[in-house]
A and B are shown apart, each in its own frame.
Chain A
Amino acid sequence: MKTKETETHVAGSEVAERIRRSATSDRPYRFLLRGTALFFGAVIVLFVWSVLHTAWPALREFGFHMVTGSRWVPGTGPYGALPLLVDTLLTTLIALVIAVPVGLASALALLFLIPQRLRTTSSALVELLAAVPSVVYGLWGLWYLIPWLNKTLDPFLAGITGGAWPFNGPQEGFSVLLAGIVLSIMILPTIVAISRDVISVVPNDLIEGGLSLGATRSQVLVRVVLPSARTGILGAIALGAGRALGETIAVAMVIGSNPQLPRSLFSTGATLASTIATEFGEATGSTGSALAALALMLMIITAAVNAGARLLTKRALAHR
């Protein structure tokens, strides 16, 4: 394994070196490529600058209170985004708690358990979930999941825990729990598709080696296949989390748009993205700037998730 990879790497860099030293006739082409790369770099820089520029008046006026304050009152302020931050992270966490085990199990099933002739169909069905527009998920949540939560899930959860935290409080259907459930379905195809792809390239030698040592099939899947694909799986989770953090319309339709710190999973709430979407149209004065500050926070969080995933990936690679 190791030698093979290193060889490819060396070969790759030689090719790149050869391209770099190539004939002068390639120059316009090189300029074109560099120009395109620079253009996208410039777009990102300008984009960040414009968000920062719009958010600056609010950041200057309210400062750190925007992150620590717990009252969000559009129109006049105060603009304390702590409830929005907490609700954003909480809904994403709920989505991951549901979608990661289900997604990994589906990926393993698609590769190892489902009969060959059904694999293509079932893969296509899972990927179809990714093609459904998010507003459709919102409507589904509003029309079908809310009655189900009201009649079945919420009373069940409150029943088995005796109404203890976090399953206490009034049950309205609209809740951070529902937003998390809807998000989990939305990020499932991402997690399934990517983890299926990375698991499928786990070398057969490893799997056969495990089996020949007397391990059962489930032992091989859990102890051999998943660990050797963990880098890619982390990437899949990070991409899923990125989508969940930034999802707007579906969340705005089911979370209840009430910016408050959650008292339980049945609480209504509002996320960073859903608040921007619901309040931007009518935003005047300081509200517009405060919403830009929310956008900035969202960008920082998603960038941090991406960076974290990269760091983990790098470590995982280094351990190989």
Chain B
Amino acid sequence: MKKNFRGKLGVAIASLGLLSTFAVTPAGATATLTGDLTFASSDGAASLNPAMGGSSFDEPFFNAAIPVYMSEAAKVSGANAPSAISLYSPTGSTAGKKGVVAGTYAVGASDVPMGTVVNGTNLDASILTGANAASTLTNYVQVPVVLGGVGMMYNLPSLNSKFKKTPVILNSAVLAGMYDGAITKWNNAAICHLNPKIVNLKKNKKGRVIRRTCALPSTTVVPVYRADGSGTSFIFSNYLNATQGANYKTSAGTEVYPNTTFNQGQVPSDGLGGQKNAGVAADVEQTVGGIGYVEYSYILLQHTLPAALIVNAKGKDVAVNPTTVAADAASFSASPPSESSAGVVSNFSIVNGAGAGDYPIAGYSWAIVREDWNGLGTVGGTSASLNSEKLVAKFLDWTVQSGAQGGQTVAQQQGYVPLPAYVTTLAEHQVSLMTYNAQSLALS
């Protein structure tokens, strides 16, 4: 418990220091909303309970943010504030998207934005087609809610005594090799070459070093991946695709299943599949020689194993932490996630940023909502009305605000990285696109 608390405090402090670094001028959309906590009795928000669910990556955030939102709103609006919103269901990214399309979730969260196209294949083609009337992306708004990094956690106990302070350095070619089955031993020449500090020195009688040998063990590499479909897998394979291109044996299709992409659907026979982030972490902990990709907070807050340093686009070895993940996101300020004239978000990939301090494996997580609730019947277990849509829009707008009472402050406390200012602007603009019967919701 104590360790967790200290870890969380560390993240919060580190993240707070970053706020000032995002002085990037928003391009395109202008900030219009400020997070509205006022509810009149005519809003009827007190008893509304719109269901939310999806990505397990977002669970700590939403489940901390929902109660904070209700208590902050109660300070401003008293008894008119929403007080009945249930907690978030961590059913998975794809389940979040399906829930919004089917109307079982008012808010569905996903680490893979709706309409993502990989190698010419729209990942959501099968979700958006069928009997549902709202089969085009223009019927939805997508709000980036949190930003996080993916760490490469590994288990090499033989390095613990002598090289405890020297994390293993890996690059994308080595990672691709490990997950493709081309690199099978930890003392592979490519890994030794990246780690000149992890060496055994042989000295002569005068104490002069006469030979350096790689101190990495000959342990078998056991690549651990997500057995369930996963947004974390998506971010990781997105990174390998972006960096390895032709070398990386990818195949078109649903990249939320890693074993679709690793070596064209053949995970190395030594590979292990884990369930959710926690399962991957547990598998790595139990397997000497194991390496796995998990959301940053799983390395920092819950487990004792180290994360590898990753060589970034500038050739620097970078550790995963809020500073380096924020730096990576900031590197995309010139080509941020953007909107088409119809309000559809695209260009969301932020892997392999160009800055020297960038940690290259990172991504946003998105909240997806129907744009116009008029005539929808029931949305997320509540009847689709102007009032219920307004409540959801106000809540989402609040989640992306960074002020003292904003949702991003809650996100920092939970170990996420705050959204860059230009992404907050995009998020606010997405929320402002929401209409009821083609009329603006008139949020402030």
Contacts and interface: CB of A to CB of B under 8 A. Distances in A.
B266 interface: yes
Interface stretch (B247-255, B334-342, B377-385): B247-255
B286 A142 contact: yes
B116 interface: no
Given A170-B220, A278-B228, A279-B229, A284 B98 contact: yes
Contact of A263 (B228, B229, B269): B269
Nearest to A288: B126
A50 B271 CA distance: 35
A47 to B, nearest CB: 22
A281 B287 contact: no
B215 to A, nearest CB: 22
A54 interface: no
Contacts of B265: 71, 73, 76, 78
B321 interface: no
A126 B222 CA distance: 37
B271 A281 contact: no
Given A257-B275, A278-B228, A76 B283 contact: no
Nearest to A279: B228
Contacts of B286: 142-143, 146-147, 173-174
Contact of B273 (A256, A267, A287): A256
Interface residues of A, number: 35
A1 B228 CA distance: 57
Contacts of A279: 227-229, 257
A91 interface: no
B270 A283 contact: no
The A interface is mostly helix, strand or loop, or mixed, namely loop
A256 B272 contact: yes
Interface in A138-174: 142-143, 146-147, 150, 170, 172-174
Interface in B291-323: none
Given A71-B266, A75-B253, A282 B230 contact: yes
B76 interface: no
A173 to B, nearest CB: 6
A73 B228 CA distance: 12
Contact of A282 (B95, B125, B253, B267): B95
Nearest to A260: B269
Contacts of A150: 288
B389 to A, nearest CB: 26
A281 B95 contact: yes
Interface string A260-276: 10010001101000000
Contacts of A260: 267, 269
B238 interface: no
Contacts of B229: 74-75, 279, 281-284
A177 interface: no
Contacts of B287: 146, 172-174
Contacts of A172: 222, 270, 272, 287
B63 to A, nearest CB: 18
Interface string B275-288: 10001001100111
Given A142-B282, A172-B222, A257-B275, 12 more contacts: A71-B266, A75-B253, A76-B260, A143-B286, A150-B288, A170-B222, A173-B286, A257-B274, A260-B267, A278-B273, A282-B228, A284-B254
Interface pairs A-B: 8 shortest CB-CB = A282-B229, A257-B273, A285-B126, A75-B254, A257-B227, A76-B253, A73-B265, A282-B94
5 contacts: A75-B253, A150-B288, A170-B222, A173-B286, A279-B227
